[in-house]
Amino acid sequence: MTVVASAVDIREKTEGSIEEQELSKEEVLGYLRQMMEIRALENQIAEFLGKAVLKGASHLYAGEEAVAVGAVGALSENDLITSTHRGHGHGHAHGDKFAKTPEAKQEHYNKMMAEVMGRATGYCKGKGGSMHIADVVHGNLGATGIVGGNIAVATGAALAEKMLKSDKVVLCFFGDGAVNEGSFHESLNMASIWDLPVVFVCENNMYGMSVPWESVTKLPDAASRAAAYGIPGVVVDGMNVLDVRSAVKHAVDRARRGEGPTLIEAKTYRYYGHSHSDPRVYRTKEEEASWKKRDPINALRDGLVAMGWITEADFDKMDETVQSKIAVAVKFATESPEPNADQLYTDVFAPVNTTQADIEADKQYRAEFITNPGKFKQVTYAQAISDALREEMTRDSRVFCLGEDIGLYGGAYGATRGLFDTFGKWRVLDTPISEASIAGAAVGAAMAGMRPVSEIMYVDFTPLAMDQVANQGAKNRYMFGGKTTVPMVVRTEGGAGRAIAAHHSQSLESLWTHFPGIYVVMPSTPYDVKGLLKAAIRDDNPVMFIEHKMLYKEKGPVPEGDYIIPLGVADIKRPGKDITIVTYSRMVLRALEAADILAKEGIDVEVVDLRCLKPLDIDTVVASVKKTGRLVGVTESYENTSFINEVMMQVNEAAFDYLDAPMVRIASANVPVPRAEILEDLAIPNTNRIVEACRKVVK
């Protein structure tokens, strides 16, 4: 990159770029002001960090202002952005674009500062802080603290806009470190094959954290990686706001025409360290000084002065106004209250939208299954899933499916068979084998207004999607102050029984019950799987929906017509008075078998099917234990830290005085699930083990 030296060159370059882009004086001065305001915000945060007035991690954006301001300057007001942990600049540039009056612009600046300081008046009520500022209402889908975590989200948001046939474009900011993450490659590939309206902007500030760019790749330019996905890759001077705007504008126009994504690499430089604690020993003072000679604010100022659009005195006056504005923002933030203690548990989940009528209907159906079973059609578990998806996709055009082999093939276990023929490729999307981007695309699409049902073929593969589901989907509502919803379902299947060994046979629900902000559903019958899946699709929260591979061919009664089963309502599959068995999924069948055997011995067993692990209906469990005085918990997950342990702990806290015997746990052995059938049978719970446990607690 060449440093422009003469005043003539500066004027000609600036004037030429302005004329080419047909920019007004007001627009260009607005870019200068925005960059100055971002710099003032960052310098103020740095001062607070140095004085320990501000706690927590703040990754400062000073030096990179031209990228945020130039890129956002190329957008229309309806377009969306996703951001990163170094996202103050993105957030300010985007929010300032929507604020039309001086008062509104000051309010935006105030909210930015307040959020950084963790105050209740911040954009996210102080729950997101510096790394997670979001103004979702105006199309800023938020910043992530996970490197590359927002790229799949942006891809999903762009997918939603394409499906909605809007003309919106999604602008995705990320750092150079993200281009070595798997989510980067998965997402660019997915965006490319579907020609999604997304512009990927890599801010290459030459260092991931401390390791220089040239030490992590043999390619001089991150933009070169675009060639692997058949999309344009553009390198731009990230220290020149007009150059950035020009490159992004071309990419945005291309995306809006339906021609797909572009990868733009903006070569830039951060003036501060990676974070406040970074001593910057990995770079020299000479290097820092050489980049600061190309300061984006000074570069634009010098160009405008050379053109005669402003004078040095005008610039000084602008600077005084900016300093006054940051002073107001600081005063607002420091005088704002911290969040009240009662805000700790708010915004984790979106409100429940089921009704008492739904609950009563569920009770009525369950009663009729016992009193009048011949009234209902017998349906397989797999068909019940397909019927639920078909009904919800017909009812709501925002519902769509995406995942591996779910289209023409019909899913690994046939649960989506026939949907492709009915709804077509854009409602039943076959994806690459890319678990992270499947899940992340669902997050972004949900935040942008769709209701995706993604499928991860086996629960064993869901850890590949854990960042997107657990860190983005499950936490976004809370981090962003309750101002977004993420109505997405992740369908997957788990469990043993087919002798397919350790990577395709696990029960990993405990991984997912651990994270706040996500529901976990594990149905045992065709009736349950249909009603709960329909409820999950209609719910405004992320739902991990885990089916069991050995249940797909099981038949059971299913009502005709529309019905849902409210999430978080357990079912007493068999009433009894002597022992409570608490279980879920396939183990319900084993528990019922055990109950039949024990009934012949005069032991009356009550079988409680949780159906949902989150939300957990602990009240039904406790009521049963108070009646029977005994509890046997059964799960197919590993004994170590299985979810049934949590159920037993809650029973201990709520009903210890009612227990007449120690609680007993039946779970899978703490070994990888073996291939050999004889060993697999030994590893997982069976009917005989449940019978023996029940005999033990009644002695």
**Which residues participate in catalysis according to the annotation?**
435, 504
Query: CA torsion sign, 339 to 342 to 344 to 350?
Result: negative
CA-CA distance, 534 to 184, in Å (whole number)? 32
CA-CA distance, 200 to 131, in Å (whole number)? 19
CA-CA distance, 35 to 587, in Å (whole number)? 60
Match 């004078």 to its residue by tokens. Answer: 311
Contact 554, 417 (CB under 8 A): no
- Beta bridge mates, 657: none
CA-CA distance, 401 to 420, in Å (whole number)? 10
For residue 122, report the phi and psi dihedrals to the nearest 5 degrees.
-75, 170
- And the tokens for 332? 């607002």
CA-CA distance, 634 to 668, in Å (whole number)? 9
Contact 524, 584 (CB under 8 A): yes
Neighbours of 406 (CB within 10 A): 26
CA-CA distance, 442 to 453, in Å (whole number)? 7
- And the tokens for 16? 């030429």
Pairing of strands 612-614, 519-521: antiparallel
Report how far apart, in Å, the C-alpha atoms of 108 and of each of 405, 476, 532 are. 45, 21, 41
Pairing of strands 233-237, 519-521: unpaired
- And the tokens for 640? 């170590």
Q: What is the DSSP letter of 473?
A: I
Neighbours of 596 (CB within 10 A): 13
Return the H-helix or E-strand segment holding 167.
Answer: none
Nearest to 663 by CA among 634, 637, 631: 631
46 CB-near residues (< 8 Å, 6+ apart) = 60, 62, 272, 276
SS3 521: strand
CA end-to-end span of the chain: 83
